[in-house]
Amino acid sequence: MIDSAMDSNLSGLVDDIATTCDLPPLPAAAARALTLARDPDSSSDDLARVVATDPALAARVLAMSRSVTYLRRQPPRTLQEAIATVGIRALRRILIAASARAAYRAADRVAQLLWAHSLATALAADEIGKTTGGVAAGDAFIAGLLHDIGKLVMHLSNPEAFATLGVFDETTERSLFGTTHAEVGGRLAEKWGLEADIVEGIRGHHAANPPPLAACVARADRIAMEIGYGSLAHPDSAEDAATDGLDAELVAAAERVRVLFESERHLFD
Protein backbone atom coordinates (compact mmCIF):
# COMPACT_ATOMS: atom_id res chain seq x y z
CA MET A 1 0.00 0.00 0.00
CA ILE A 2 1.05 3.63 -0.51
CA ASP A 3 1.17 5.89 2.56
CA SER A 4 -0.70 9.20 2.59
CA ALA A 5 2.33 11.43 1.98
CA MET A 6 3.53 9.34 -0.94
CA ASP A 7 -0.01 9.16 -2.30
CA SER A 8 -0.29 12.94 -2.25
CA ASN A 9 3.01 13.29 -4.09
CA LEU A 10 2.02 10.61 -6.60
CA SER A 11 -1.30 12.30 -7.24
CA GLY A 12 0.51 15.51 -8.12
CA LEU A 13 2.97 13.68 -10.36
CA VAL A 14 0.20 11.87 -12.22
CA ASP A 15 -1.71 15.12 -12.70
CA ASP A 16 1.43 16.87 -13.95
CA ILE A 17 2.25 14.06 -16.39
CA ALA A 18 -1.34 13.72 -17.57
CA THR A 19 -1.68 17.44 -18.32
CA THR A 20 1.29 17.29 -20.71
CA CYS A 21 0.29 14.22 -22.71
CA ASP A 22 -3.17 15.06 -24.07
CA LEU A 23 -4.64 11.82 -22.68
CA PRO A 24 -8.35 11.91 -23.57
CA PRO A 25 -10.67 12.16 -20.55
CA LEU A 26 -13.51 9.74 -20.11
CA PRO A 27 -16.26 10.58 -22.61
CA ALA A 28 -19.13 12.50 -21.03
CA ALA A 29 -21.55 9.66 -21.70
CA ALA A 30 -19.19 7.15 -20.06
CA ALA A 31 -18.80 9.37 -17.00
CA ARG A 32 -22.58 9.75 -16.67
CA ALA A 33 -23.13 6.03 -17.17
CA LEU A 34 -20.50 5.14 -14.57
CA THR A 35 -22.26 7.40 -12.07
CA LEU A 36 -25.61 5.88 -12.97
CA ALA A 37 -24.20 2.36 -12.66
CA ARG A 38 -23.46 3.04 -8.99
CA ASP A 39 -27.14 3.83 -8.38
CA PRO A 40 -28.89 0.66 -7.13
CA ASP A 41 -32.17 1.95 -8.53
CA SER A 42 -30.89 2.31 -12.10
CA SER A 43 -31.96 -0.13 -14.79
CA SER A 44 -30.33 -1.46 -17.93
CA ASP A 45 -32.73 0.70 -19.95
CA ASP A 46 -31.58 3.81 -18.07
CA LEU A 47 -27.97 2.95 -18.78
CA ALA A 48 -28.65 2.14 -22.42
CA ARG A 49 -30.25 5.54 -22.95
CA VAL A 50 -27.16 7.31 -21.56
CA VAL A 51 -24.62 5.19 -23.44
CA ALA A 52 -26.61 5.57 -26.67
CA THR A 53 -25.97 9.34 -26.64
CA ASP A 54 -22.38 8.54 -27.70
CA PRO A 55 -22.63 6.33 -30.84
CA ALA A 56 -18.93 5.40 -30.83
CA LEU A 57 -19.05 4.39 -27.17
CA ALA A 58 -22.28 2.46 -27.72
CA ALA A 59 -20.71 0.55 -30.60
CA ARG A 60 -17.72 -0.41 -28.45
CA VAL A 61 -19.93 -1.56 -25.57
CA LEU A 62 -21.98 -3.71 -27.93
CA ALA A 63 -18.86 -5.18 -29.57
CA MET A 64 -17.14 -5.93 -26.25
CA SER A 65 -20.26 -7.61 -24.89
CA ARG A 66 -19.91 -10.12 -27.74
CA SER A 67 -16.46 -11.12 -26.54
CA VAL A 68 -16.07 -14.65 -25.24
CA THR A 69 -15.45 -12.99 -21.87
CA TYR A 70 -19.22 -12.54 -21.66
CA LEU A 71 -20.27 -15.26 -24.09
CA ARG A 72 -23.88 -16.38 -23.98
CA ARG A 73 -25.81 -18.77 -26.21
CA GLN A 74 -27.04 -15.86 -28.35
CA PRO A 75 -24.82 -12.78 -28.73
CA PRO A 76 -26.60 -9.51 -27.88
CA ARG A 77 -28.12 -7.64 -30.81
CA THR A 78 -28.99 -4.34 -29.12
CA LEU A 79 -27.38 -2.10 -26.54
CA GLN A 80 -30.08 -3.02 -24.03
CA GLU A 81 -29.38 -6.72 -24.57
CA ALA A 82 -25.65 -6.08 -24.27
CA ILE A 83 -26.05 -4.41 -20.89
CA ALA A 84 -28.42 -7.11 -19.70
CA THR A 85 -25.92 -9.76 -20.87
CA VAL A 86 -22.89 -8.45 -19.03
CA GLY A 87 -24.63 -6.96 -16.00
CA ILE A 88 -24.26 -3.50 -14.52
CA ARG A 89 -21.06 -4.29 -12.57
CA ALA A 90 -19.32 -5.60 -15.68
CA LEU A 91 -20.66 -2.68 -17.70
CA ARG A 92 -18.57 -0.31 -15.58
CA ARG A 93 -15.46 -2.18 -16.65
CA ILE A 94 -16.49 -2.26 -20.30
CA LEU A 95 -17.08 1.50 -20.23
CA ILE A 96 -13.57 2.01 -18.91
CA ALA A 97 -12.13 -0.35 -21.54
CA ALA A 98 -14.08 1.30 -24.35
CA SER A 99 -12.95 4.73 -23.18
CA ALA A 100 -9.32 3.70 -22.73
CA ARG A 101 -9.15 2.36 -26.29
CA ALA A 102 -9.51 5.91 -27.62
CA ALA A 103 -6.26 6.92 -25.92
CA TYR A 104 -4.21 4.50 -28.04
CA ARG A 105 -3.96 6.57 -31.20
CA ALA A 106 -4.12 4.72 -34.49
CA ALA A 107 -1.33 6.79 -36.05
CA ASP A 108 1.07 6.17 -33.15
CA ARG A 109 3.00 2.92 -33.65
CA VAL A 110 4.20 2.69 -30.05
CA ALA A 111 0.69 3.34 -28.74
CA GLN A 112 -0.68 0.58 -30.97
CA LEU A 113 1.98 -1.86 -29.75
CA LEU A 114 1.09 -0.99 -26.17
CA TRP A 115 -2.61 -1.54 -26.94
CA ALA A 116 -1.96 -4.96 -28.50
CA HIS A 117 0.11 -5.95 -25.46
CA SER A 118 -2.58 -4.69 -23.10
CA LEU A 119 -5.37 -6.56 -24.88
CA ALA A 120 -3.33 -9.78 -25.04
CA THR A 121 -2.58 -9.43 -21.33
CA ALA A 122 -6.27 -8.83 -20.57
CA LEU A 123 -7.34 -11.95 -22.43
CA ALA A 124 -4.61 -13.98 -20.74
CA ALA A 125 -5.54 -12.61 -17.31
CA ASP A 126 -9.15 -13.54 -17.92
CA GLU A 127 -8.12 -17.09 -18.83
CA ILE A 128 -5.99 -17.37 -15.69
CA GLY A 129 -8.66 -15.72 -13.54
CA LYS A 130 -11.22 -18.35 -14.48
CA THR A 131 -9.14 -21.03 -12.77
CA THR A 132 -7.52 -19.00 -9.98
CA GLY A 133 -9.16 -18.80 -6.58
CA GLY A 134 -9.87 -15.33 -5.27
CA VAL A 135 -9.70 -13.66 -8.68
CA ALA A 136 -12.86 -12.60 -10.50
CA ALA A 137 -12.57 -13.07 -14.26
CA GLY A 138 -14.00 -9.63 -15.03
CA ASP A 139 -11.56 -8.00 -12.61
CA ALA A 140 -8.67 -9.88 -14.18
CA PHE A 141 -9.62 -8.71 -17.65
CA ILE A 142 -9.81 -5.01 -16.80
CA ALA A 143 -6.69 -5.05 -14.61
CA GLY A 144 -4.83 -6.74 -17.46
CA LEU A 145 -6.16 -4.24 -19.96
CA LEU A 146 -5.03 -1.27 -17.88
CA HIS A 147 -1.86 -2.69 -16.31
CA ASP A 148 0.44 -0.73 -18.64
CA ILE A 149 -1.64 2.39 -19.22
CA GLY A 150 0.99 4.18 -17.16
CA LYS A 151 3.43 3.43 -19.99
CA LEU A 152 1.05 5.06 -22.44
CA VAL A 153 0.88 8.17 -20.26
CA MET A 154 4.68 8.32 -20.09
CA HIS A 155 5.01 7.78 -23.84
CA LEU A 156 2.51 10.52 -24.67
CA SER A 157 4.02 12.95 -22.19
CA ASN A 158 7.65 12.44 -23.30
CA PRO A 159 8.19 10.05 -26.24
CA GLU A 160 11.94 10.60 -26.32
CA ALA A 161 12.41 9.74 -22.64
CA PHE A 162 10.03 6.79 -22.87
CA ALA A 163 11.98 5.39 -25.81
CA THR A 164 15.04 4.94 -23.57
CA LEU A 165 13.24 2.53 -21.23
CA GLY A 166 13.46 -1.25 -21.27
CA VAL A 167 10.76 -3.80 -20.48
CA PHE A 168 10.55 -2.68 -16.87
CA ASP A 169 13.17 -0.32 -15.54
CA GLU A 170 11.85 1.13 -12.29
CA THR A 171 15.03 3.06 -11.52
CA THR A 172 15.08 4.82 -14.89
CA GLU A 173 11.33 5.45 -14.79
CA ARG A 174 11.69 7.18 -11.44
CA SER A 175 14.68 9.14 -12.69
CA LEU A 176 12.91 10.35 -15.82
CA PHE A 177 9.31 10.65 -14.65
CA GLY A 178 9.47 10.70 -10.85
CA THR A 179 7.34 7.57 -10.57
CA THR A 180 6.75 4.17 -12.22
CA HIS A 181 4.26 3.15 -14.86
CA ALA A 182 2.57 0.79 -12.39
CA GLU A 183 2.04 3.60 -9.89
CA VAL A 184 0.72 5.92 -12.60
CA GLY A 185 -1.67 3.22 -13.81
CA GLY A 186 -2.90 2.54 -10.30
CA ARG A 187 -3.49 6.20 -9.65
CA LEU A 188 -5.41 6.65 -12.89
CA ALA A 189 -7.57 3.64 -12.02
CA GLU A 190 -8.36 5.30 -8.69
CA LYS A 191 -9.27 8.57 -10.42
CA TRP A 192 -11.60 6.64 -12.73
CA GLY A 193 -13.38 5.09 -9.75
CA LEU A 194 -12.37 1.46 -10.24
CA GLU A 195 -12.54 -1.02 -7.37
CA ALA A 196 -9.64 -1.20 -4.92
CA ASP A 197 -8.63 -4.74 -5.92
CA ILE A 198 -8.33 -3.68 -9.57
CA VAL A 199 -6.24 -0.67 -8.55
CA GLU A 200 -3.90 -2.94 -6.60
CA GLY A 201 -3.85 -5.43 -9.47
CA ILE A 202 -2.48 -2.69 -11.72
CA ARG A 203 -0.20 -1.09 -9.15
CA GLY A 204 1.29 -4.35 -7.89
CA HIS A 205 1.89 -6.36 -11.07
CA HIS A 206 5.67 -5.95 -10.72
CA ALA A 207 5.74 -6.34 -6.92
CA ALA A 208 7.89 -8.99 -5.27
CA ASN A 209 4.94 -10.39 -3.30
CA PRO A 210 1.88 -9.31 -5.28
CA PRO A 211 -1.72 -9.77 -4.15
CA PRO A 212 -3.68 -12.44 -6.06
CA LEU A 213 -5.02 -10.22 -8.83
CA ALA A 214 -1.64 -8.56 -9.40
CA ALA A 215 0.00 -12.00 -9.54
CA CYS A 216 -2.58 -13.03 -12.15
CA VAL A 217 -1.77 -9.93 -14.21
CA ALA A 218 1.97 -10.59 -13.91
CA ARG A 219 1.53 -14.11 -15.28
CA ALA A 220 -0.70 -12.78 -18.05
CA ASP A 221 1.93 -10.16 -18.87
CA ARG A 222 4.46 -12.94 -19.47
CA ILE A 223 1.99 -14.82 -21.66
CA ALA A 224 1.41 -11.73 -23.81
CA MET A 225 5.16 -11.46 -24.36
CA GLU A 226 5.41 -15.19 -25.06
CA ILE A 227 2.90 -14.96 -27.92
CA GLY A 228 4.73 -12.00 -29.44
CA TYR A 229 2.90 -9.00 -28.02
CA GLY A 230 5.41 -7.32 -25.75
CA SER A 231 5.44 -3.75 -24.51
CA LEU A 232 8.98 -2.54 -25.10
CA ALA A 233 9.52 1.10 -25.87
CA HIS A 234 11.90 -0.25 -28.55
CA PRO A 235 9.31 -2.36 -30.42
CA ASP A 236 11.85 -4.14 -32.61
CA SER A 237 13.91 -5.43 -29.68
CA ALA A 238 13.63 -9.00 -28.39
CA GLU A 239 11.99 -9.83 -25.07
CA ASP A 240 12.89 -13.50 -25.00
CA ALA A 241 14.79 -13.19 -21.72
CA ALA A 242 11.63 -12.05 -19.96
CA THR A 243 9.82 -15.27 -20.83
CA ASP A 244 12.52 -17.82 -20.04
CA GLY A 245 11.44 -20.60 -17.73
CA LEU A 246 7.71 -20.57 -18.39
CA ASP A 247 6.12 -23.61 -16.84
CA ALA A 248 4.07 -26.06 -18.87
CA GLU A 249 0.81 -24.56 -17.64
CA LEU A 250 1.77 -21.08 -18.87
CA VAL A 251 2.97 -22.44 -22.20
CA ALA A 252 -0.39 -24.16 -22.71
CA ALA A 253 -2.23 -21.02 -21.66
CA ALA A 254 -0.13 -18.99 -24.10
CA GLU A 255 -1.29 -21.14 -26.99
CA ARG A 256 -4.94 -20.72 -25.99
CA VAL A 257 -4.53 -16.97 -25.68
CA ARG A 258 -2.75 -16.72 -29.03
CA VAL A 259 -5.81 -18.18 -30.75
CA LEU A 260 -8.18 -16.14 -28.61
CA PHE A 261 -6.34 -12.90 -29.33
CA GLU A 262 -6.50 -13.36 -33.08
CA SER A 263 -10.23 -14.13 -32.98
CA GLU A 264 -11.19 -11.44 -30.42
CA ARG A 265 -8.96 -8.53 -31.35
CA HIS A 266 -11.35 -7.01 -33.90
CA LEU A 267 -14.04 -6.63 -31.25
CA PHE A 268 -11.90 -4.07 -29.45
CA ASP A 269 -10.70 -2.02 -32.43
Taking only the tens place, the pLDDT of each residue in 147-182 is: 999 999 888 888 899 988 877 778 889 888 888 999
Rounded CA separation 110/159 (Å): 9
State percent of the chain over pLDDT 70.
80
**DSSP conformation letters of 102-166:** TTS-TT-HHHHHHHHHHHHHHHHHHHHHTTSTT--HHHHHHHHHHTTHHHHHHHHH-HHHHTT--
For CA atoms 54, 102, 123, 157, the dihedral sign is negative
- 7-37 pLDDT tens trace: 555 566 666 665 655 555 667 788 888 888 7
Could you give all domains of the chain from N- to C-terminal order, each with its CATH number? Answer: 24-102 (no CATH), 106-269 (1.10.3210.10)
